């Protein structure tokens, strides 16, 4: 079997898909994307595809080596995301070739269902209690929310109280049996994060995500030592080499993104590395159906898995949503807040190719907002 074609599709709301076709008619799908830089990743996929056309798609490990290291310069969001999507598609083909779901090729299932959480509150969190109640009604047992919108790096007393009020509103709606995770999005300075962590700790968040920016990861160790709140990070880290220092710093939850951190091949390695630190895996996935399918395949076969993000109804999904490009939406029909294990081959989803091709004709140019502080200076989004 040989790879004959690699195509990319820029589809709303903000995604990029890739499709690898073989001479035997088997097709694999991947989701190589950096949100807001999809066109750049598309160009990277097109260049990397030169290494794949004419090759046996089943030599995934070897392709991963060549794609990540064969160009001398390596890593970073664009290249690692391009490799990630191609890696999804190669695993999808392998599963279809062997007639098995990817998690079976990776050693078989360790669980039959995967707990997923739902987003509430959007970029500027408001009406948290009502939104949490709606997600509980939909069956979810955990939600995630931003701690704040645009904020002062060291929040005022009022700003800190507002974060506490939001998390408390979520906790009140959830009760003690369900969970709330809080994403700081790197919007506070380390000092601001330390103060807010202390204030919300009594509300027992499942974890606090990106308490500081990735460039300040060297400050995670004192932060982890100063709080009882489990710290999470990883959506802006691109390989196991970047996860090692944050695990050494004491994070409790590793959050590689299947579309950013080198795909299924590298995320399974990151999970194994995290296990040696007693840390759990909670893959980042505010993205599309292929990225989620890849995440779930990893979750089904990873012992130290915690919970999975998914984007159904997320504030980014305006022109299209998680289910828009699937022939059969059953794999993402969550039961009691869980994804049920699939036995379908490959990634376990059937992409609606006609819908993808039509959506690509319209494309998208999604960008995140650029925020400013009241004095006009740049603010972290
Ligand atoms: Mg995040």
Domain boundary assignment for the chain: 3-100, 104-346
pLDDT at residue 138 is higher than 90: yes
- How confident is the prediction for the chain on average, in pLDDT? 97
* Residue pair 323/352 in contact by the 8 Å Cβ criterion: no
What does the pLDDT look like over 143-164, one tens digit per residue? Answer: 999 999 999 888 999 999 999 9
> Cα of 254 to ligand 1 centre, how many Å?
12
- pLDDT value for 173: 96
Instruction: Give the angle subtended at the CA of 176 by the CAs of 173 and 182, to the nearest 5°.
Output: 70
Sign of CA dihedral 281, 306, 223, 214: positive
* Residue pair 232/226 in contact by the 8 Å Cβ criterion: no
pLDDT at residue 125 is higher than 80: no
User: Residue 313: pLDDT band by 50, 70, 90 thresholds?
Assistant: confident
> Cα of 183 to ligand 1 centre, how many Å?
5
- Average pLDDT of the residues in 63-68: 98
Q: What's the rounded Cα separation, in Å, for the pair 190 and 290?
A: 34
pLDDT at residue 47 is higher than 90: yes
* Among 297, 287, 299, residue whose Cα is nearest residue 114: 299
Please tell me the CATH code under which domain 3-100 is placed. Answer: 3.30.390.10
- pLDDT value for 60: 98
- At the fourth CATH level, the homologous superfamily of domain 104-346 is Enolase-like C-terminal domain (3.20.20.120)
Annotated active-site residue 185? The verdict is yes
- Average pLDDT of the residues in 51-57: 98
* Residue pair 310/335 in contact by the 8 Å Cβ criterion: no
> Cα of 205 to ligand 1 centre, how many Å?
15
pLDDT at residue 27 is higher than 90: yes
Q: What's the rounded Cα separation, in Å, for the pair 9 and 14?
A: 11
pLDDT at residue 20 is higher than 80: yes
What does the pLDDT look like over 215-246, one tens digit per residue? Answer: 999 999 999 999 999 999 999 999 999 999 99
> Cα of 125 to ligand 1 centre, how many Å?
14
- pLDDT value for 123: 77
- pLDDT value for 99: 98
- pLDDT value for 154: 86
User: In 255-316, at which residue ranges do the beta strands (DSSP E only) sit?
Assistant: 280-281, 308-309
**3-state DSSP assignment of residue 289:** helix
> Cα of 362 to ligand 1 centre, how many Å?
28
Q: Which of 63, 88, 103, 185 is catalytic?
A: 185
Annotated active-site residue 364? The verdict is no
pLDDT at residue 124 is higher than 90: no
What does the pLDDT look like over 32-45, one tens digit per residue? Answer: 999 999 999 999 99
> Cα of 161 to ligand 1 centre, how many Å?
21
- pLDDT value for 153: 84
Model pTM score: 0.97
> Cα of 187 to ligand 1 centre, how many Å?
11
> Cα of 146 to ligand 1 centre, how many Å?
8
3-state secondary structure 361-379: HHCCCCCCCCEECCCCCEE
Q: Which of 63, 284, 338, 364 is catalytic?
A: 284
Q: Do domains 3-100 and 104-346 have the same CATH topology?
A: no
What does the pLDDT look like over 164-214, one tens digit per residue? Answer: 999 999 999 999 999 999 999 999 999 999 999 999 999 999 999 999 999
R_g over Cα of the chain: 20
Instruction: Give the angle subtended at the CA of 295 by the CAs of 129 and 325, to the nearest 5°.
Output: 80
Q: Which helix (H) or strand (E) holds 90?
A: helix 76-98
């Amino acid at each position: 079997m040989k790879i004959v074609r690699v195509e990319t599709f820029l589809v709303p709301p903000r995604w990029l898909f890739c499709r690898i076709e073989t001479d035997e008619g088997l097709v694999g799908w991947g989701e190589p994307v950096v949100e807001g830089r999809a066109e750049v990743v598309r160009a990277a996929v097109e260049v990397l595809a030169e290494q794949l056309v004419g090759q046996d798609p089943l030599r995934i490990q070897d392709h991963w080596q060549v794609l990540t290291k064969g160009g001398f310069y390596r890593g970073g969001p664009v290249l690692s995301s391009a490799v990630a999507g191609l890696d999804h598609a190669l695993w999808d083909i392998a599963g279809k070739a062997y007639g098995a779901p990817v998690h079976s090729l990776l050693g078989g299932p360790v669980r039959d269902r995967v707990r997923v959480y739902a987003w509430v509150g959007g970029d500027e969190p408001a009406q948290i209690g009502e939104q949490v109640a709606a997600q509980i009604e939909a069956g979810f047992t955990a939600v995630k929310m931003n701690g704040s919108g645009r904020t002062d790096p060291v929040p005022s007393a009022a700003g800190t109280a507002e974060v506490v009020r939001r998390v408390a509103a979520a906790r009140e709606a959830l009760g003690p049996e369900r969970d709330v995770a809080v994403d700081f999005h790197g919007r506070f300075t380390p000092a601001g994060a330390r103060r807010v962590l202390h204030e919300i700790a009594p509300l027992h968040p499942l974890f606090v995500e990106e308490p500081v920016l990735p460039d300040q990861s060297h400050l995670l160790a004192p932060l982890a030592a100063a709080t009882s709140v489990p710290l999470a990070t990883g959506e802006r880290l691109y390989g196991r080499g970047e996860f090692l220092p944050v695990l050494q710093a004491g994070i409790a939850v590793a959050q590689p993104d299947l579309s950013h951190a080198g795909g299924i091949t590298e995320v399974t390695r990151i999970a194994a590395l995290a296990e040696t630190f007693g840390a759990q895996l909670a893959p980042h996935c505010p993205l599309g159906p292929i990225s989620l399918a890849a995440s779930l395949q990893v979750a089904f076969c990873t012992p130290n898995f915690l919970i999975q993000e998914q984007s159904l109804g997320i504030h980014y999904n305006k022109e299209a949503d998680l289910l828009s490009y699937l022939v059969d939406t059953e794999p993402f029909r969550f039961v009691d807040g869980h994804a049920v294990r699939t036995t379908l081959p490959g990634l376990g989803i059937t992409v609606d190719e006609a819908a993808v091709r039509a959506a690509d004709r319209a494309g998208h140019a999604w960008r995140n907002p650029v925020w400013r502080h009241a004095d006009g200076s740049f603010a972290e989004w």
